[in-house]
Amino acid sequence: MIKQNQQPQVLLFADEDFIGGLNRPTTYYPEVKKQVELGNLIVADLSSASSYSLDVLPIGDGSDLYLLNKYNGSYLKATNGDLLNKLIDDQSIAIKEALIYLGAKHIVIKESTTDITKTDLDLNGETDAKALEIKANAHITWNLSVDIKTKIEYKDEQNKAVDYQTAKDYCRNHGLDGDTKIKMWLDRLEKKGSLSGTESYTVTYLSEVENAINVSLAINAKIFSSKLDFNSLHSHKYKKEKTLTVIF
Protein backbone atom coordinates (compact mmCIF):
# COMPACT_ATOMS: atom_id res chain seq x y z
CA MET A 1 0.00 0.00 0.00
CA ILE A 2 1.34 3.42 -0.97
CA LYS A 3 1.78 5.81 1.92
CA GLN A 4 0.98 9.48 1.61
CA ASN A 5 4.03 10.58 3.55
CA GLN A 6 7.59 10.49 2.28
CA GLN A 7 9.05 7.01 2.63
CA PRO A 8 12.74 6.46 3.41
CA GLN A 9 14.82 5.42 0.41
CA VAL A 10 16.53 2.51 2.14
CA LEU A 11 15.17 -0.24 4.40
CA LEU A 12 17.50 -2.49 6.41
CA PHE A 13 16.43 -5.50 8.44
CA ALA A 14 18.72 -6.15 11.43
CA ASP A 15 18.78 -8.24 14.59
CA GLU A 16 17.74 -7.13 18.08
CA ASP A 17 21.34 -6.54 19.22
CA PHE A 18 21.98 -4.08 16.44
CA ILE A 19 18.69 -2.26 16.94
CA GLY A 20 19.38 -2.05 20.69
CA GLY A 21 22.83 -0.61 20.02
CA LEU A 22 21.37 1.84 17.51
CA ASN A 23 18.75 3.11 19.95
CA ARG A 24 21.05 3.59 22.95
CA PRO A 25 21.24 7.22 24.21
CA THR A 26 24.85 7.11 23.09
CA THR A 27 24.41 5.04 19.96
CA TYR A 28 26.98 2.56 18.75
CA TYR A 29 26.17 3.56 15.18
CA PRO A 30 26.02 7.37 14.80
CA GLU A 31 26.21 7.30 10.99
CA VAL A 32 23.27 4.92 10.82
CA LYS A 33 21.26 6.90 13.35
CA LYS A 34 21.89 10.10 11.40
CA GLN A 35 20.40 8.59 8.24
CA VAL A 36 17.40 7.37 10.25
CA GLU A 37 16.88 10.84 11.73
CA LEU A 38 17.18 12.42 8.27
CA GLY A 39 14.36 10.18 7.09
CA ASN A 40 16.56 8.38 4.57
CA LEU A 41 16.67 4.98 6.28
CA ILE A 42 14.49 2.55 8.20
CA VAL A 43 16.15 -0.07 10.40
CA ALA A 44 13.60 -2.76 11.16
CA ASP A 45 13.47 -6.01 13.08
CA LEU A 46 13.04 -9.17 11.01
CA SER A 47 9.78 -9.90 12.80
CA SER A 48 8.23 -6.73 11.35
CA ALA A 49 8.77 -7.74 7.71
CA SER A 50 5.04 -8.28 7.16
CA SER A 51 4.46 -4.58 7.89
CA TYR A 52 6.21 -3.60 4.65
CA SER A 53 5.48 -4.21 1.01
CA LEU A 54 8.52 -6.29 -0.06
CA ASP A 55 9.33 -8.11 -3.28
CA VAL A 56 10.90 -10.95 -1.26
CA LEU A 57 11.05 -11.59 2.48
CA PRO A 58 14.30 -10.99 4.41
CA ILE A 59 16.29 -14.06 5.40
CA GLY A 60 18.53 -12.66 8.14
CA ASP A 61 21.89 -13.31 6.49
CA GLY A 62 23.09 -9.69 6.45
CA SER A 63 22.06 -8.97 2.87
CA ASP A 64 18.56 -7.75 3.77
CA LEU A 65 18.97 -4.27 2.28
CA TYR A 66 16.03 -2.90 0.29
CA LEU A 67 15.62 0.13 -1.97
CA LEU A 68 12.38 2.08 -2.26
CA ASN A 69 10.28 1.82 -5.38
CA LYS A 70 8.53 5.15 -4.94
CA TYR A 71 6.21 4.54 -7.89
CA ASN A 72 4.19 1.97 -5.98
CA GLY A 73 5.43 2.36 -2.40
CA SER A 74 7.14 -1.05 -2.18
CA TYR A 75 10.72 -2.02 -1.33
CA LEU A 76 12.92 -4.09 -3.66
CA LYS A 77 15.78 -6.17 -2.33
CA ALA A 78 19.15 -4.82 -3.46
CA THR A 79 20.21 -8.29 -4.57
CA ASN A 80 17.27 -8.48 -6.99
CA GLY A 81 18.93 -8.68 -10.40
CA ASP A 82 15.80 -7.28 -12.04
CA LEU A 83 15.65 -4.23 -9.78
CA LEU A 84 16.56 -1.66 -12.46
CA ASN A 85 14.08 -3.08 -14.96
CA LYS A 86 11.33 -3.08 -12.33
CA LEU A 87 11.97 0.57 -11.42
CA ILE A 88 11.99 1.69 -15.07
CA ASP A 89 8.82 -0.26 -15.82
CA ASP A 90 6.93 1.18 -12.86
CA GLN A 91 8.18 4.74 -13.47
CA SER A 92 7.19 4.54 -17.14
CA ILE A 93 3.71 3.30 -16.26
CA ALA A 94 3.27 5.99 -13.60
CA ILE A 95 4.36 8.76 -15.98
CA LYS A 96 2.21 7.47 -18.82
CA GLU A 97 -0.86 7.32 -16.60
CA ALA A 98 -0.15 10.77 -15.14
CA LEU A 99 0.04 12.26 -18.63
CA ILE A 100 -3.21 10.53 -19.57
CA TYR A 101 -4.83 11.98 -16.43
CA LEU A 102 -3.57 15.40 -17.55
CA GLY A 103 -5.23 14.97 -20.94
CA ALA A 104 -2.40 13.78 -23.20
CA LYS A 105 -3.65 12.61 -26.59
CA HIS A 106 -0.30 11.46 -27.95
CA ILE A 107 2.96 10.47 -26.20
CA VAL A 108 6.00 9.73 -28.36
CA ILE A 109 9.55 8.90 -27.30
CA LYS A 110 12.20 10.66 -29.38
CA GLU A 111 15.43 8.67 -29.20
CA SER A 112 16.57 5.06 -28.97
CA THR A 113 14.66 3.22 -26.29
CA THR A 114 16.82 0.28 -25.24
CA ASP A 115 19.71 0.55 -22.80
CA ILE A 116 21.79 -2.43 -21.80
CA THR A 117 24.20 -2.31 -18.90
CA LYS A 118 25.55 -4.75 -16.36
CA THR A 119 26.87 -3.90 -12.92
CA ASP A 120 28.34 -6.30 -10.41
CA LEU A 121 28.60 -5.78 -6.66
CA ASP A 122 30.30 -8.27 -4.37
CA LEU A 123 29.05 -8.56 -0.80
CA ASN A 124 31.53 -10.93 0.82
CA GLY A 125 32.49 -10.38 4.41
CA GLU A 126 31.26 -9.98 7.93
CA THR A 127 31.25 -7.16 10.43
CA ASP A 128 33.81 -6.97 13.21
CA ALA A 129 31.45 -4.93 15.41
CA LYS A 130 30.75 -7.01 18.51
CA ALA A 131 27.27 -5.58 18.94
CA LEU A 132 26.24 -6.68 15.46
CA GLU A 133 26.39 -10.19 14.08
CA ILE A 134 25.43 -9.45 10.50
CA LYS A 135 27.16 -11.56 7.89
CA ALA A 136 26.94 -10.87 4.19
CA ASN A 137 27.60 -13.26 1.36
CA ALA A 138 25.95 -12.11 -1.82
CA HIS A 139 26.76 -11.09 -5.34
CA ILE A 140 24.63 -8.41 -6.93
CA THR A 141 24.29 -8.29 -10.68
CA TRP A 142 21.91 -5.62 -11.91
CA ASN A 143 20.96 -6.12 -15.52
CA LEU A 144 19.18 -3.52 -17.60
CA SER A 145 17.55 -4.23 -20.92
CA VAL A 146 14.31 -2.31 -21.26
CA ASP A 147 12.33 -1.19 -24.27
CA ILE A 148 10.83 1.94 -22.77
CA LYS A 149 8.92 2.72 -25.95
CA THR A 150 6.47 -0.12 -25.41
CA LYS A 151 5.86 1.08 -21.84
CA ILE A 152 5.24 4.77 -22.41
CA GLU A 153 3.97 5.53 -25.94
CA TYR A 154 0.26 6.29 -26.23
CA LYS A 155 -2.33 7.67 -28.64
CA ASP A 156 -5.97 8.56 -28.06
CA GLU A 157 -7.29 11.63 -29.87
CA GLN A 158 -10.43 11.63 -27.70
CA ASN A 159 -8.65 11.67 -24.34
CA LYS A 160 -9.50 14.51 -21.96
CA ALA A 161 -8.04 15.60 -18.64
CA VAL A 162 -9.63 14.49 -15.39
CA ASP A 163 -10.30 17.07 -12.69
CA TYR A 164 -7.33 18.74 -11.01
CA GLN A 165 -7.61 17.04 -7.61
CA THR A 166 -7.83 13.55 -9.12
CA ALA A 167 -4.75 14.20 -11.25
CA LYS A 168 -2.86 15.68 -8.30
CA ASP A 169 -3.72 12.72 -6.05
CA TYR A 170 -2.54 10.25 -8.68
CA CYS A 171 0.81 12.03 -9.08
CA ARG A 172 1.34 12.25 -5.33
CA ASN A 173 0.47 8.61 -4.76
CA HIS A 174 2.82 7.41 -7.49
CA GLY A 175 6.00 9.29 -6.64
CA LEU A 176 5.66 12.09 -9.19
CA ASP A 177 4.83 15.01 -6.91
CA GLY A 178 8.45 16.22 -7.00
CA ASP A 179 8.62 16.32 -10.80
CA THR A 180 8.93 19.97 -11.84
CA LYS A 181 7.28 19.56 -15.24
CA ILE A 182 4.39 17.53 -13.85
CA LYS A 183 3.84 20.17 -11.17
CA MET A 184 3.81 22.90 -13.83
CA TRP A 185 1.17 21.03 -15.84
CA LEU A 186 -0.90 20.42 -12.72
CA ASP A 187 -0.83 24.14 -11.93
CA ARG A 188 -1.94 24.91 -15.46
CA LEU A 189 -4.73 22.34 -15.24
CA GLU A 190 -5.93 23.89 -11.98
CA LYS A 191 -6.05 27.37 -13.52
CA LYS A 192 -7.37 26.57 -17.00
CA GLY A 193 -9.22 23.29 -16.58
CA SER A 194 -7.39 21.67 -19.49
CA LEU A 195 -4.03 21.58 -21.29
CA SER A 196 -3.30 22.13 -24.97
CA GLY A 197 -0.38 22.22 -27.36
CA THR A 198 2.80 20.19 -27.83
CA GLU A 199 5.30 19.84 -25.00
CA SER A 200 8.76 18.34 -24.63
CA TYR A 201 9.29 16.32 -21.44
CA THR A 202 12.62 14.81 -20.36
CA VAL A 203 12.28 11.81 -18.07
CA THR A 204 15.19 10.96 -15.78
CA TYR A 205 15.28 7.28 -14.93
CA LEU A 206 17.01 5.56 -12.00
CA SER A 207 18.12 8.65 -10.08
CA GLU A 208 16.57 7.05 -6.98
CA VAL A 209 19.12 4.22 -7.22
CA GLU A 210 21.97 6.72 -7.01
CA ASN A 211 20.30 8.43 -4.03
CA ALA A 212 19.78 5.13 -2.23
CA ILE A 213 23.40 4.10 -2.81
CA ASN A 214 24.52 7.40 -1.26
CA VAL A 215 22.59 6.44 1.87
CA SER A 216 24.10 2.95 1.78
CA LEU A 217 27.57 4.45 1.49
CA ALA A 218 26.93 6.62 4.53
CA ILE A 219 26.00 3.64 6.71
CA ASN A 220 28.28 1.06 5.11
CA ALA A 221 31.28 1.40 7.44
CA LYS A 222 29.24 0.75 10.57
CA ILE A 223 27.13 -2.09 9.24
CA PHE A 224 29.45 -4.05 7.01
CA SER A 225 33.16 -4.65 6.65
CA SER A 226 35.38 -2.85 4.16
CA LYS A 227 35.05 -5.86 1.87
CA LEU A 228 31.55 -4.75 0.99
CA ASP A 229 32.38 -2.55 -1.93
CA PHE A 230 29.47 -0.15 -2.33
CA ASN A 231 31.94 2.27 -3.89
CA SER A 232 32.25 0.20 -7.05
CA LEU A 233 28.50 0.36 -7.48
CA HIS A 234 28.40 4.04 -6.64
CA SER A 235 30.93 4.85 -9.35
CA HIS A 236 28.54 3.62 -12.03
CA LYS A 237 26.19 6.23 -13.46
CA TYR A 238 22.63 5.00 -13.47
CA LYS A 239 20.76 8.08 -14.55
CA LYS A 240 19.23 7.72 -17.98
CA GLU A 241 17.30 10.46 -19.74
CA LYS A 242 14.62 10.04 -22.37
CA THR A 243 12.86 12.91 -24.10
CA LEU A 244 9.15 12.61 -24.79
CA THR A 245 6.91 14.65 -27.06
CA VAL A 246 3.53 15.10 -25.41
CA ILE A 247 0.55 16.42 -27.35
CA PHE A 248 -2.42 17.60 -25.28
Count Cβ atoms within 10 A of the Cβ of residue 186 and give its class: 0-12 exposed, 13-18 middle, 19 or more buried.
buried
Higher per-residue pLDDT: 30 or 201: 201
- Residue 5: per-residue pLDDT: 52
What distance in Å separates the CA atoms of residue 100 and residue 167, rounded to the nearest whole number? 9
- Residue 140: per-residue pLDDT: 58
Give the pLDDT band (50/70/90) at residue 71. Answer: very high
Amino acid at 6: Q
Q: Which of 59-63, 148-152, 173-177 is predicted most confidently?
A: 173-177
Phi and psi at residue 200, to the nearest 5°? -100, 135
pLDDT of 236 strictly over 70:
no
Give the pLDDT band (50/70/90) at residue 209. Answer: confident
Give the pLDDT band (50/70/90) at residue 168. Answer: very high
What distance in Å separates the CA atoms of residue 49 and residue 52, rounded to the nearest whole number? 6
Q: Which of 102-106, 200-204, 232-236 is predicted most confidently?
A: 102-106
Output the pTM of the full model: 0.79
What distance in Å separates the CA atoms of residue 33 and residue 211, rounded to the nearest whole number? 17
pLDDT of 22 strictly over 60:
yes
Mean pLDDT of 93-108: 97
pLDDT of 61 strictly over 80:
no
Q: What is the mean pLDDT of the chain?
A: 79
HEC letters along 160-182 = CCCCHHHHHHHHHHCCCCCCHHH
Amino acid at 104: A
pLDDT of 76 strictly over 60:
yes
Residue 164 per-residue DSSP state: H
126 - beta bridge partners? 135
